[in-house]
Amino acid sequence: MNVKLISFTPQPERISAIAAKLTHTSATPEEVEKSSDKELKAILEEIMHRGHTSVIEHASFTFAISGVSRSLTHQLVRHRIASYAQQSQRYVSIDKPSYITPPTIAKDKKAKEKYDEIMNKIWEYYNELLEFGIPTEDARYVLPNATYSNIIVTMNARSLLNFFDLRCCLQAQWEIRKLAYKMLALVKKEAPIIFKNAGPACKRLGICPEDRKDCPLYPG
C-alpha cells in the first residue's frame, strides 16, 4: 500500500479559522483575513474543542492511493462526502496476477498455497476470455475483490474526521484501517490542530459507537 498527499488547501487551518471568525464579527472577509496567526490559532483551537467543525469543510485534502484491493475501495467509496477517481477495469486490462493477500492467509502456508493457486487460475480464465475476444469490461467479471487498484481521493477536513472515527477503530477491517492511519499521519503534518484528536471515535469523542466493552480502547 502506498499513500501520498498530493494536494491540499493552502494554509488549511488559517482558512478554517478565518471562516470561524467571520461568523462572529461585523468585519468584512477582507478585514478578517488580516487577523494575526496567533489570534486565528486560538480561534481554531476553541472551535475544535467545542466541536463546531462545519468551518473546517473549507479545507480539503487529496490523496493518491495505490496497491490496495477492490475490497478496500468498495468500503472507501461508501464515504459519500468525497470525490473519487479510480482505475477502471473497463479500460485497463489487468493481464498479470496482481492481488492483495490478507495477513491471516499469508501466515498459513497451506492456505497461502491454495490462495495463490486460486488467484493464478482466475487470471488464466480472465486472459482466456480476452483471447476469445470478450471485452475487458465483461472479462473483468471473473476478477476477485483482492485485485490491486489505484484511486485518487479528495475529502474535506470534516469528512476526514468522520472517516477516521470509523476506520481507525479496531473493529474496522484491517486493510482500510491501515489506510486510515496512513492518511491521518499525512494530514496531521499539515493541520495539527484540526487533527490533534483524530482517530477512532473513542479517542476523539470519548464514546464507543460499537459499544464493544471487550475492546482494549473502550473508554473507561
Catalytic residues, which ones?
Answer: 167
What is the SS3 assignment for 132? Answer: coil
Q: From CA 152, how far away is CA 7, in angstroms rounded?
A: 11
Output the nine-digit C-alpha cell for 53: 467543525
Q: From CA 204, how far away is CA 161, in angstroms rounded?
A: 9
| Cβ-contact 81, 161 below 8 angstroms | no
Buried b (16+ CB within 10 A) or exposed e, 159-176: bbbbbbbbbbbeebeebb
